[in-house]
Amino acid sequence: MRIAYLDCFSGISGDMFLGALVDAGVPFELLQQTVAALHVGATLELSRVERNGISAAKIDVIVNGRKDLPREEIWGAETEQHSHDHGEKHTQAHSRHLAEILKIIAAAPISDRARQTGSAIFKALGEAEAKVHGVPVEAVHFHEVGAADAIVDIICAAVGAEALQVERILASPLNVGSGTVKCAHGEMPVPTPATLELLKGIPVYSGDVQKELVTPTGAAIVKVLAAGFGPRPTMTTESIGYGAGTRDFPQHSNVLRITVGDTVDHGEGTDEEIVVLEANLDDLSPQIIGYIADQILAEGALDVFTTPVQMKKGRPGTLLTILANPQDEANLRGLLFRESSTLGVRSRREQRHVLARRHESVQTQWGAVRIKIGSIGDADSQFAPEYEDCRIIAAEQRVPLKQVMQEALRLYLDKKNG
């Protein structure tokens, strides 16, 4: 299985994640094009810096000629706030609310997958801030300049993560830092309330650095993108990227490291614990069920499927089943309660045996298609074209989807048997 592993020994922020992606091989031009297409008055700047002996990529978001925004110029939860650093008064007239930002994402010329990921990250961020401040999520807003900065960080994170072409992103426990940080509401402990809210269920620790190492944006990105947290799995290394934070600490490399490669299986496969969530739905439109399934996948579920069932008194219904990583259980259960009509969600833990997986690419006449391959020991037992690759080609080239899939599989088998 092709994966990316994040070493968060110095935390994570949006700019660190983008720098690590570019250093690992994601084209900087792709991120530049993405920013230009958003039309939010921002650009990206790429430089090479050293952080305590490690060379890393540093990406800055430039908004109206400014970068490295103070925290209080990014988030707000009331109608007015004051900036401690600049003495400026911000009002709702100079801010963007979550609904407006989601419209910007919906209109962005990016893939459906990246659009769903970016929206999920912003929703997680908004919900955390709303809970901390005790206000409806509709009242949470970004100040005008900070909104552009966050939109760029999050949408580029979604587009860049997709460009890695990995099946899963995993992460280490997060070093959140320690001490306090000055915010618009005064001095706050590290991690700040919103960051801690986002990191529920994720392993964190505090090191010796007396600074904030995980920002709310970084926490939201890793919460949505990472399928699991723990030690580095047994894997090969294809590429390595280092993304630099703004500060340069003595005797501590302030970087985020990403490693891309394939997991290594020493037998027939690997065992992992998953959570199974189920809900019976008998009074909900099939269109809404389809929408909910899309949202579930965007939130990081491993799989979601429906089964027609007969409910009591002969009523037809739908059994909605979710397979997910255990740390995502609470979030997905909450999504079901918010979006569906169910009054109860069942959950259980199960063991899943997974074949070792990897990707190989074939070049069709219309473009490249990845082939997913499952192996038992040294023998390949399963192979299939990646649906998303084929779907995109079919839509762009106006070729029947089945034709693209058949041609990709034929090319792979010719290569394998040749």
pTM of the model: 0.65
- Residues of the chain below pLDDT 50: 70-93, 145
Q: CA 316 to CA 341: how far, in whole Å?
A: 15
- Residue 328 corresponds to which tokens in the numbers above? 């995502």
Degrees to nearest 5, angle at CA 160 with 410 and 292? 80
Characterise 384 by phi-psi region: left (phi > 0), alpha (psi -120 to 50), beta (else): beta
Select from 349, 331, 358, 354 the least CA-distant residue to 165. Answer: 358
Q: What is the 3-state secondary structure (H, E, C) of 155-181?
A: HHHHHHHHHCCCCEEEECCEECECCEE
> Following DSSP, what letter does each residue of 21-74 receive, concatenated?
HHHTT--HHHHHHHHHHH-SSEEEEEEEEEETTEEEEEEEEEETTB-S--GGGT
Amino acid at 298: A
Q: What are phi and psi of 176, to 5 degrees?
A: -90, -5
- Residue 344 corresponds to which tokens in the numbers above? 């109860």
268 and 81 in contact (C-beta within 8 Å)? no
CATH topology of domain 270-354: Alpha-Beta Plaits (3.30.70)
Domain ranges of the chain: 2-262, 270-354, 356-417
356-417 has CATH 3.10.20.300 classification: yes
pLDDT given at position 137: 83
219 and 197 in contact (C-beta within 8 Å)? no
pLDDT of 91-147, one tens digit each?
Answer: 334 578 888 888 999 999 999 889 989 999 998 988 888 888 888 888 777 665 457
Query: What does the chain come to in residues?
Result: 418
The DSSP bridge partners found for residue 256 are 243
Q: CA 181 to CA 173: how far, in whole Å?
A: 21
Q: Do domains 270-354 and 356-417 have the same CATH topology?
A: no
The answer, yes or no, to whether the previous bond of 250 is cis (omega within 30 of 0) is no
Amino acid at 195: T
